[in-house]
Amino acid sequence: MNSISGNTIDFDSAKLKIKSASSRASKSVDSSASPPTTQLHQSLSQLLQTSLELDKVLGLFFATLQQAMELDSLEYRHETKQMQFDFGKPALHRCSYRLTHLGDFLGELRFSRSKRFTEAQLKGLESLLGSLLYPLRNALLYHEAIACALNDPLTGCGNRLAMDQALDREIKHAIRKQSDLCMLVIDIDHFKTINDTYGHAFGDEALKATVSACKSCLRAVDGLFRLGGEEFVVVLSDTNLTDARMVAERIRNAIAEMQFELDGQSIPLTVSIGVARRRSDESQKGLYERCDQQMYKAKRAGRNQVIAES
């Protein structure tokens, strides 16, 4: 029969408890019963400050704990931030901790091992979690800062900087694997008229709805970016031109079929989409400009169209 224990650790109210547990655990003569927390606190405090990448911080934390006690896995979850990291292979007996600090939720940690946790080991783990507080908080703040720098604040999709980084990465991948790389340029039809007629607040909702419809048609590995205004770019790795056009048609249909209303009045929303496949030795700029040209051809062809390079 497996054992599961769970607890919420508020780092602020637990400080005295952690210090007390650390003192008791350090006096243990049985190293298998609990980790030597005093020495581990010191080494962890230094080690965990060497990175701001959350996966590296957690990996270092897990590796260090494994040296002191028998652990099979560590799992980290933060559903709000959509973050998940797993280390090792989950085993039968588990203990989990919800971590908070100054009222902020810092995520949930779950440890597992093949043998049941003793009370001394649980106290040792809880005391060592104190060394994770500031590295974990700093890593989460760093992740949030990076996300803000790379995301469009209105729609939540990537911005131009994020697109440049993704394209650089995907072009290198395409060259290395000799694989296809395609791009879609998407522009909302008559967007200025929508803003002028119904107001910018309604226009903002149209942008959000467009992003939602696009995401419903894309894989998790596909990139969606807003370049500003009503123009978006989709980057499709390992995708040939025929499949890219099919994706574009799905997006066009999804947006055209949306039930978009204002005060009960149905308002049509459509997009024009250009599709292009990266040519050998073509730069980011060259691929975007060719794809943008296809999008303008779709506009001239009557809008609500998909035009792919021949």
What pLDDT score does 22 carry? 47
- Within a 13 Å sphere around the CA of 270, how many CA atoms are in the beta-carbon half? 12
What pLDDT score does 18 carry? 44
What pLDDT score does 28 carry? 44
What pLDDT score does 19 carry? 47
Domains and their CATH numbers in the chain: 4-148 (3.30.450), 151-308 (3.30.70.270)
What pLDDT score does 275 carry? 98
Q: Which residues of the chain have pLDDT under 50?
A: 1, 15-22, 24-33
CA-based angle 38:42:44, to the nearest 5? 110
Collect all residues with Cβ–Cβ distance below 8 Å to 93 and sequence separation of at least 6. 2, 3, 4, 112, 113, 114, 115, 116, 117
What pLDDT score does 234 carry? 98
176, 236, 287 from 181: Cα distances, Å: 12, 6, 10
CB-based contact 196:263 (threshold 8 Å): no
What pLDDT score does 33 carry? 45
Residues in the chain: 310
What pLDDT score does 69 carry? 85
CB-based contact 110:95 (threshold 8 Å): yes
Model confidence pTM above 0.85:
no
Q: Which tokens hold the place of 251?
A: 């997006």
Collect all residues with Cβ–Cβ distance below 8 Å to 283 and sequence separation of at least 6. none
230, 261, 282, 309: which is the annotated catalytic residue?
A: 230
CB-based contact 110:94 (threshold 8 Å): yes
Tell which residue, 109, 39, 122, has the closest CA to residue 73. Answer: 109
Cβ count near 112 (within 10 Å): 21
What pLDDT score does 263 carry? 75
- Torsion sign across C-alpha atoms 55, 56, 61, 62: positive
For the stretch 268-297, pLDDT in tens is 899 999 999 999 999 999 999 999 999 999
CB-based contact 207:154 (threshold 8 Å): yes
**230 classed as catalytic:** yes
What pLDDT score does 4 carry? 58
